[in-house]
Chain A
Amino acid sequence: MTMAETVAGASTPLLELRKVSCRFGARPDLAARIAIALGAAKPFPIIHALDKVDLTIRKGEVLGLVGESGCGKSTLGRIAAGILPPSEGQVFWKGEDRATLRGSRQRDADLEAQMIFQNPMAALNPRMTVEKLVAEAPGIHGLIKGSTGSYVDDYLTKAGFDPAMKKRLPHQFSGGQRARVNIARALAVQPDFLVCDESVAALDVSIQAQILNLFMDLREQLDLTYLFVSHDLGVVEHISDRVAIMYLGRVIEEAPVAEIFSRPNHPYTQQLLAEVPRIRPGKRRFAAMKGELPSPLNPPKGCHFHPRCPHAHDRCRIEVPQKREIAPGHISACHLNDKQAV
């Protein structure tokens, strides 16, 4: 059975986000609330990190999540991993609403989704040995049946890390080895789903290739599902089955990887993919998309992309474009698609 059939055969998605929004902002205290109500103070600024995002991840697939810094892709990754509750909307884990889970069911859901962070040094306690780092979580949750030593060795080996070095501290290792310790640590609680937030961004090219290969091997061995958050289009193109493109808190396009790279629909996706640096001998002009990502404190009305879009018309400035399926499995949110349909 190929990967595509497995994916299509699964009935309930592993993870489903429905109209998930996330806002960050200081909570005004009583005095501030009175001052704001009286007009003596301005309301506190609120960052709209996510705005009614729908996203489905099926068992066994690798979903690539792409966007510029500040577009909310890390926030989405954290919500998917269950370490950040959404401000609004629902997160369904294996068909159950995560907010309603209690007790052991909640604990299991938390363990089943793990996150691998961008900066391996920040994610590892500098005073704990590799062995303690990997053994801590499974020990607390009672997942270790035999000896702790062999359990740790097993997971370190899976992550391609030599168990002979497990008594050392994180600072004694190179970036690639630290990345492996982080992976071993995430795997040690036996998750089904990994959220990789820019997990290879800080690594050198040759080490990055090793870690990407490791991710692919682990997926086969342990039947893992990935949400792969990255700004590196080459990496996403390499590893993903499906790709979702984010812009300023919204998912604007979603499609299988071959489809999105060959037939990008949204003007933002088209311009973004045109920028993918490829090894292609021959000098070329670097053409540039104009402007920068607007501030999420004050996002533009209507389609968030309209100030930078070459095709923007009046409707884009007022109305938020709805998502529509323009080809099987290819979803895009752009008003231009309505025009072509009429």
Chain B
Amino acid sequence: MTALLEVRNLVTEFPGEAGNGLRAVDDVSFRLGRGEVLGLVGESGSGKSVTGFSIMGLVDWPGRVAGGQILFDGEDIARADEETRRSLRGRRIAMVFQDPMMTLNPVLRIGTQMTEALHAHERMSATAARERARDALGLVGIPSPEERLDAYPHQFSGGMRQRVAIAIALLHRPDLIIADEPTTALDVTIQAQIISEFQKLTEDQGTAVIWITHDLAIVSGLADRIAVMYGGRIVETGNIEDVLVAPKHPYTHGLIRSVPSQNSRGHRLAQIPGVTPSLARMPEGCAFRTRCERATDACTARPGRFGDVLAYHRCFHPHEEALV
């Protein structure tokens, strides 16, 4: 069986000041099966969002996908023309953004925006579209959906707006949803509500999900597999349990141990020294080596992938033992 999505050696570049290309996404490869949930984890500037935008075909000029393949259902969409991309976008691949106000037009009623999205890909009567929109709002747990179709985005709370954004993403029952930090701006309780709705709906519809986040805790309960990004590269990927219990890459290791929790109470947190270097000043070889306690001279060479596409890391000195 072919994978739903296979990204091979994806490179996305933005022009730098000196005329050289800054690689926001650098040689990223992963595979996603139908109905699978992949947690794409990284800190700001690690390239996780740009990876999502690249798959959607939403990288704005002057940025561009400079290399690699994006195989969606066996077909390479990295080089596809705009018409093909457009027919996929919203219909078979949908995206949910961190800020729902980015998705919603503030001067149009919710109903108008939802039926617009339906008419973009399907021929249907206005009444039928309105009914579909109403049902979609009901599915994501919005009370009295019929009346809410006539409301404007500002009349909703942040959590409700995110539900609307998710309802729009799910309208065409896409095969893949890319969720870019959809709960980061929300309260814990609302976050749990949104994740629970999202989990239910994607499982019912067999939708594959790429959940982009900086929050390891969310991913640990939600994802089947995880990919950790640093400096534009996936430094480690694998089954969620394997990676969280026995992280191999020192960055993953440090990241997991720097999350405050009940076990860390009263102790100092393990901290990764320094800050993420900017793209223009990414060190040669392993991007993490300047912050890494295990780094040696060997790390000035660029680490390749150790392992297969489903589970690999990029480190010359990986951790062997499990985390305590």
Contacts and interface: CB of A to CB of B under 8 A. Distances in A.
Interface of A: 68-69, 174-177, 204-210, 212-213, 216, 231, 233-235, 237-239, 257-258, 261, 271-272, 275-290, 292-293
Interface stretch (B71-79, B95-103, B190-198): B190-198
Contact of B260 (A234, A261, A289, A290): A234
Interface string B274-306: 011000000000000000000000000000000
A289 B272 contact: no
Most chain B CB within 10 A, of A174, A205, A261, A282, is at A205
Contact of A279 (B195, B197, B244): B244
A239 B43 CA distance: 22
Given A205-B214, A206-B43, A281-B220, A238 B260 contact: yes
Contacts of B270: 209
Question: For the side of the interface on B, what is the size category?
Answer: 35 or more
Given A277-B221, A279-B217, A237 B159 contact: no
A68 B158 CA distance: 12
Contact of B188 (A233, A257, A282): A233
Interface in B240-295: 240-241, 244-245, 254-256, 258-262, 264-265, 268-272, 275-276
B189 A271 contact: yes
A283 B265 contact: no
Interface string B215-257: 1111011111000000000000000110011000000001110
A197 B216 CA distance: 23
B192 A213 contact: no
B255 to A, nearest CB: 6
Interface in B20-41: none
B150 interface: no
| Majority-rule SS of B interface residues | helix
A204 B44 contact: yes
A206 B221 contact: no
B199 interface: yes
Given A286-B192, A289-B189, A289-B193, A234 B269 contact: no
A238 B269 CA distance: 9
B195 A206 contact: no
Nearest 5 pairs of A and B residues by beta carbon: A238-B260, A277-B217, A209-B258, A288-B193, A204-B43
Nearest to B251: A206
Contact of A205 (B196, B224, B259): B259
Contacts of B269: 209, 212-213, 238
Most chain B CB within 10 A, of A206, A237, A281, A287, is at A206
A286 B258 contact: no
Contacts of B44: 175, 204
Contacts of B160: 292
Contact of A234 (B254, B261, B272): B261
B129 to A, nearest CB: 28
Contacts of B122: none
B220 A210 contact: no
A204 to B, nearest CB: 4
Contacts of B192: 275, 286-289
Given A205-B214, A281-B220, A210 B189 contact: no
18 contacts: A204-B214, A206-B255, A206-B271, A209-B270, A213-B271, A234-B259, A234-B261, A237-B260, A238-B265, A271-B189, A279-B256, A279-B261, A280-B221, A282-B241, A286-B222, A288-B195, A289-B192, A289-B193
Given A231-B187, A272-B188, A278-B261, A292 B159 contact: yes
Contacts of A285: 196, 199
Contacts of B196: 285-288
Contacts of A238: 260-261, 264-265, 269
B125 interface: no
Contacts of B84: none
Nearest to A213: B268
Given A68-B189, A206-B272, A289-B189, A257 B260 contact: no
Given A206-B276, A210-B271, A275-B188, 19 more contacts: A177-B275, A205-B214, A205-B216, A206-B271, A208-B258, A208-B260, A209-B271, A213-B271, A234-B260, A237-B265, A275-B189, A277-B220, A279-B220, A279-B244, A281-B244, A282-B241, A286-B199, A290-B193, A293-B187
A136 to B, nearest CB: 26
Nearest to A241: B266
Contact of B245 (A213, A278, A281, A292): A281
B190 A292 contact: yes
